Chain A
Amino acid sequence: MLQKIYDWIDERIDITPIWRDIADHEVPEHVNPAHHFSAFVYCFGGLTFFVVVIQILSGMFLTMYYVPDIENAWKSVYYLQTEVAHGQIVRGMHHWGASVVIVMLLLHTLRVFFQGAYKKPRELNWMVGVLIFFVMLGLGFTGYLLPWDNKAYFATQVGLEIAEQVPFIGEYLKTLLAGDAEIVGAQTLTRFFAIHVFFLPAALFGLMAAHFILIRRQGISGPL
């Protein structure tokens, strides 16, 4: 049945070469942990991607209950955490995943650094990776405010004050992030929500696409 559907589509639009090109290629021996166990260090990039997928999926489902409004944000998180079946698990995935993703990203970066895999011709992909790192920090920073409890509020307060220390444009930057020159409040929460759920994920997708296209172009770096 499935085969027939596939054949029907393939006959019309010839999709086999497309997925072959994306998925069907050999893993070099030196990056395959089945050959050399120490090659597990090559897994951290893929693990980072895996956790990002978890973040996106769990985040999409959290958004079914979450409201970015200062009267209701905390209550909606409390509700999904205590009343919704499996809500605790989905929030847990997102909550712990947010930390695990940073850890994986760092391990991946360390591997690239210590293997010198960033050297010519892969400098561009190192730069893309650094941008991904900043976007991820941004996701962590903006997401942390969303539960709108005391910890969230004061963490954001401190983060905004750090932004304010930027020379010359600091105050504008803070206002731009917070939505108000003095208050961390209703407009801050809506802004952070929009940034967390739309702006940064969009940037992340673009950067990840660039990252992976560059890897396919240049191949994985050779053995040490």
Chain B
Amino acid sequence: MSEEKQQVSRRQFLNYTLTGVGGFMAAGLLISPIRMAIDPVLKPSSAGEYANVGLAVEDITTEPQRVDWKIDQVDGWYESKVNRSAWVFKNENDEIMALSPTCTHLGCVVSWEGSEDHPNEFFCPCHDGRYYKDGTNIAGTPPTRPLDLYDHKVENGMLYLGKAQVRGEA
């Protein structure tokens, strides 16, 4: 509005330039370390490869059975074989179900009929977590969601399992 010219004083000019230059220097200094620190978050997650778990499809019954297999795990610069497990069975619709045994409460290992008091359920000994046969958590016990479900496929009559997928809350 005012008619006067907006004067930039020598002091203001120096302040702006020095702040600007300083800002660029700080940014230049920090950008690479920060990008380096957050790299794990930005890396694409590895697509789950399928592994033969050594169980013939014809041997899968309606009774959950535990299968153990090994996968090649790449952890940064460290490659190793690690154990995986699943509880495998056929449900009422004759579909293959492969449930992760990792308790969705705090990560202990659940087992089928792991407690004599709770037949026909998965049981977690750590805090008495319980799940129905389809892996759905039983309300009133600590777990907050169903057991994870492995992706599966069948090749030459053998069961292959991939990544364990999170299912929605019950």
Instruction: List residues of A whose CB falls within 8 A of some B CB.
Output: 70, 154, 157-158, 161, 172, 175-176, 178-183, 185-187
Is B75's CB under 8 angstroms from A181's CB?
A: no
Least distance between A145 CB and chain B CB atoms (Å): 15
Whether, in the assembled complex, B168 has its beta carbon less than 8 Å from a beta carbon of chain A, the answer is: no
Is B107's CB under 8 angstroms from A181's CB?
A: no
Which of B41, B75, B107 makes the CB contact (< 8 A) with A157? Answer: B107
**Could you tell me which residues of chain B, from 67 to 124, have a CB within 8 Å of some CB in chain A?**
73, 75-78, 106-107
Is A161's CB under 8 angstroms from B107's CB?
A: yes
Which of A154, A158, A176, A181 makes the CB contact (< 8 A) with B45? Answer: A181
Bound-state CA distance A176–B41 (Å) is 6
Q: Which residues of A contact B77 (CB under 8 A)?
A: 186
Q: Which residues of B contact A182 (CB under 8 A)?
A: 45
Whether, in the assembled complex, B38 has its beta carbon less than 8 Å from a beta carbon of chain A, the answer is: yes
Least distance between A128 CB and chain B CB atoms (Å): 24
Q: Which residues of A contact B107 (CB under 8 A)?
A: 154, 157-158, 161
Is A187's CB under 8 angstroms from B75's CB?
A: yes
Q: Which residues of A contact B76 (CB under 8 A)?
A: 179-180, 185-187
Least distance between A41 CB and chain B CB atoms (Å): 37
Closest to A169 in B: B41
Q: Which residues of A contact B40 (CB under 8 A)?
A: 175-176, 178-181, 187
Least distance between B47 CB and chain A CB atoms (Å): 12
Closest to A176 in B: B41
Bound-state CA distance A187–B40 (Å) is 9
Least distance between B38 CB and chain A CB atoms (Å): 6
The listed residue with most A CB atoms (<10 A of its CB), out of B38, B75, B106, is B75
Bound-state CA distance A157–B107 (Å) is 8
Q: Which residues of B contact A179 (CB under 8 A)?
A: 40, 76
Q: Which residues of A contact B45 (CB under 8 A)?
A: 181-182
Bound-state CA distance A187–B43 (Å) is 14
